[in-house]
Amino acid sequence: MKNSGVARGLFGDISVDKHRLTVGGCVASELAHEYGTPLYVFDVDRAVKTAKAYVDVLKREYPHSTVCYASKAFCCTGIYSLLAPLGLGADVVSGGELYTALKGGMSPSKIYFHGNNKTESEIKYALDAGVECFVVDSALEVELLEKHAVKPQNVLVRVNPGVEAHTHRFIQTTTVDSKFGFSIADGTAESFIAALGVRKNVKFVGLACHIGSQIFEKQSFEVAIDKMTDFILRLEKRGIAVERLDLGGGFGIHYIDQDLPLTPEGYMTNSARYLRAAVEKRGIKPPHLIVEPGRSIVGEAGVTLYTVGAIKTIKDVKTYAAVDGGMFDNPRVALYDADYTAVIADKADIDGDFEYAIAGKCCESGDVLIRSVKLPELRTGDVIAVLSTGAYHYSMASNYNRNVIPPVVAVKNGRSAYMVKPQTYEDITRNDVIPKFSED
């Protein structure tokens, strides 16, 4: 696999000044010096620009629409304070994400609550908070909504359209085997929705689907739109109105040179036009469109800085450069075999011929952050930057091995400020209790 380490031109606003990587106008190695490593760096303008691009293209191509940021990609109060003023809503999937969104200034009237197994207390909390819409994914959820809602609650029903998309391909299936959504193919979605008609406080307003993540191919979304609009037509023939259609997220980004994603404009223009043609062809009323980009708004806005520690060469095998982070700040490699590239922060545009595996510091052989990257020769103390780490990194971080979760520093116009403060050892033992039993 080609992984040059120098991703020239691919990472937009990340630039190089006298060989030094700069993010949001800040010199990466200086950030590392000031804040310590490992460090998540978040380029505010980059995320704002991408989010705005989604809003703007839909305003033009499909005004009857809402862009809901998928909180799971990167959830902290600061992100909502950036995105809410741009007119975005939010997709949340837990009480914790909902709490964070509200605290960050997101209006409940713009929140869609997803999840295949919302707990009763989460359902009560979301009802009390007045979230705009639940995305219902089980019969149990309907029972709990009926039990606790005091007025009709808008719901979308999550369906499984039988399209599974992956980075470079999509699979059309009639599979009913997914923990998400009611299957269209076997008729369960239709009968579930028809049965909602008798509910007092559960108001069916439309359909939701999500076909996968890190998708590059617009054709995958087209197939999903065809399946969903066919289904809308079927429901409308039964007298069931579908006012809203949530197509989920999934728009792919750059991690390595080979990744060739579309822009938000590219993804949205195509989907919006395809949807307009699809509804026209079927003679159905254009639904309110909801899209839920997560990764593509925050992913490329993030960079993680690490300091190189031990370097170990195994003759005729490989050289490991170990850094002060690992699977506790980025579990995606161990989980998904994800690919990344990296640069030396102060030699960011210098090609190198030394091949390294970048290893983490966790006590696990699988804790490798990059399997192979070519860089100039590394020395202990060098700061390296792993690119495209804004999505599903901080939000998936853990205290594994009791490592502290790195802080997030926001950068903008050459200035920096904490977006998430550093954890301390005190923080990670805060809830520990040495149990005492009465007989002790």
Return d(Cα 87, Cα 48) in angstroms, integer.
11
Q: How many CA atoms lie within 13 A of 359 on its CB side?
A: 16
Nearer to ligand LLP, 246 or 324 (CB): 246
Minimum CB separation of residue 101 from ligand LLP in Å reads 14
Q: Give the nearer residue to ligand LLP in terms of CB position, either 135 or 321.
A: 135
Distance between CA atoms of residues 382 and 41, nearest Å: 17
Q: How far apart are CA 325 and CA 70, in angstroms?
A: 26
Residue 92 CB, nearest approach to ligand LLP (Å): 10
CB of 88 to ligand LLP, least distance (A): 13
* Minimum gap (Å) between residue 293 Cβ and ligand LLP: 5
Angle at 309 between CA 366 and CA 421, to 5 degrees: 85
- What 3-state DSSP class applies to 272? helix
Give burial (CB, 10 Å; 0-12/13-18/19+) of 342.
Answer: buried
CA–CA distance, 237 with 260 (Å, rounded to integer): 41
Residue closer to ligand LLP, measured from CB, 263 or 424: 263
Comparing CB distances to ligand LLP, the nearer of 292 and 346 is 292
Tell me the β-bridge partners of 368.
Answer: 359
Shortest spacing between CB 334 and ligand LLP, in angstroms? 11
Is the separation of the CB atoms in 69 and 89 below 8 Å?
yes
Nearer to ligand LLP, 336 or 418 (CB): 336
Output DSSP code: residue 149: -
Sequence-ordered list of residues with C-beta below 8 angstroms from that of 292, at least 6 positions apart, any chain? 67, 68, 69, 70, 91, 112, 210, 246, 247, 248, 249
- On the 0-12 / 13-18 / 19+ scale of CB atoms within 10 A, 99 is middle
> What separation in angstroms does the CA of 95 have from each of 127, 320, 356, 367, 382?
11, 40, 41, 30, 40
Q: Are strands 169-172 and 354-359 parallel, antiparallel or unpaired?
A: unpaired
**Cα→Cα distances 144→6, 95, 148, 180, 269, Å:** 52, 15, 6, 18, 38
CB of 94 vs ligand LLP, minimal distance in Å: 12
Give me the active site residues, please.
363
Number of H-type helices and E-type strands within the chain: 12, 23
Position with the least CB separation from ligand LLP: 249
Q: How far is the CB of 295 from ligand LLP (least distance, A)?
A: 3
DSSP code at position 423: P
72 vs 254, beta carbon nearer ligand LLP: 72
CA distance 415 to 410: 8
Which residue lies nearer to ligand LLP by CB, 22 or 66?
66
Cβ 224 to ligand LLP shortest distance, Å? 12
Q: d(Cα 236, Cα 228) in Å, to the nearest integer?
A: 12
Nearer to ligand LLP, 38 or 293 (CB): 293
Contact footprint for ligand LLP (CB under 6 A): 70, 72-73, 91, 114, 210, 213-214, 248-251, 292-296, 332, 336, 392
